Amino acid sequence: MSAYTNSVKSIAWSFELSKSIKLSFPLGAVDCLSGEMGDASRGSSNIGIIDEARQINSSLRRVGQQARVSVTMAGSAASTLDQDGSTIEKALNEHKYELKGALNSTSRRLAKIKNAAANERLYMTAAIGFFLSVVIYIISKRMGILGSLWYIIQCKGLFIF
């Protein structure tokens, strides 16, 4: 239970205590629930005060009832908020673990793709190098450059065989 729910329940308890409160008037005590005067035998000149006290008492009763209804509504709203909070927390925990697994899977696949891209660059570089060396060899064979170059190297004494 949240602190808000506990405070709402303590307010409801304090309204229950207010049922037994008696108000003091010049003629005596007025019971909040029954509206009876404790000292109503003083005479008929005090009838206006008694009527006024009864009106105040009935007004206090209405205010108390409205306060109890408000506290009850606040209590139900607080319990609903507690339930919603626990539902949201469960959903977040569930999604956190699901998303964590998906994220790990995605990072592994991304690493594999990066490795494959690096390997493809290496293969393409090797293939282009091999292609260029074959083209140079064919052109030099057709033009006789390699034979001339071989002859020049042997004549100059650069290689001794």
User: Is 52 inside any structural domain?
Assistant: yes
Q: Which stretch of DSSP H or E encloses residue 131?
A: helix 47-143
Return the exposure string of 120-138: e unless at least 16 CB atoms fall within 10 Å of the residue's CB, then b: eeeeeeeeeeeeeeeeeee
Is 146 among the domain residues? no
Residue 149 inside a domain? The answer is no
Q: What total number of domains does the chain contain?
A: 1
What is the mean predicted confidence (pLDDT) over 137-160? 74
Report the distance separating Cα 140 and Cα 147, nearest Å. 9
Residue 47 domain boundaries? 3-129
The answer on pLDDT for 33 being more than 60 is no
The residues pairing with 24 across neighbouring beta strands, listed in sequence order, are 29
The CA distance from 56 to 64, in Å, is 12
Contacts for 28 with CB less than 8 Å, ≥ 6 apart: 37, 38, 39, 40
Is residue 58 within 8 A of residue 35, CB to CB? The reply is yes
76/70 Cα distance (integer angstroms): 10
Q: Is residue 152 part of a domain?
A: no
Q: What is the pTM of this model?
A: 0.37
When pLDDT is averaged across residues 53-61 and rounded to a whole number, the result is 91
CA pseudo-torsion sign 63, 64, 67, 68: negative
What is the average pLDDT across 96-107?
85
- The mean pLDDT of 97-101, rounded to a whole number, is 82
CA distance 49 to 81: 47
Whether residue 150 lies inside any domain: the answer is: no
Is residue 158 in some structural domain?
no
Classify residue 74 as exposed, middle or buried by CB count within 10 Å of its CB (0-12, 13-18, 19+): middle
CB-neighbour burial class of residue 53 (10 A; exposed 0-12, middle 13-18, buried 19+): buried
Q: Output 131 or 21, whichever has higher pLDDT.
A: 131
Distance, in Å, from the CA atom of 102 to the CA atom of 116, rounded to the nearest integer, reads 21
Task: Indicate whether 148 belongs to any domain.
Answer: no
Name the percent of the chain lying above pLDDT 90.
34
In a domain, 20, yes or no: yes
Give the pLDDT confidence of 64-98 residue by residue, as tens digits.
999 999 999 998 999 999 999 889 988 888 888 88
> Helix, strand, or coil here: 160?
coil
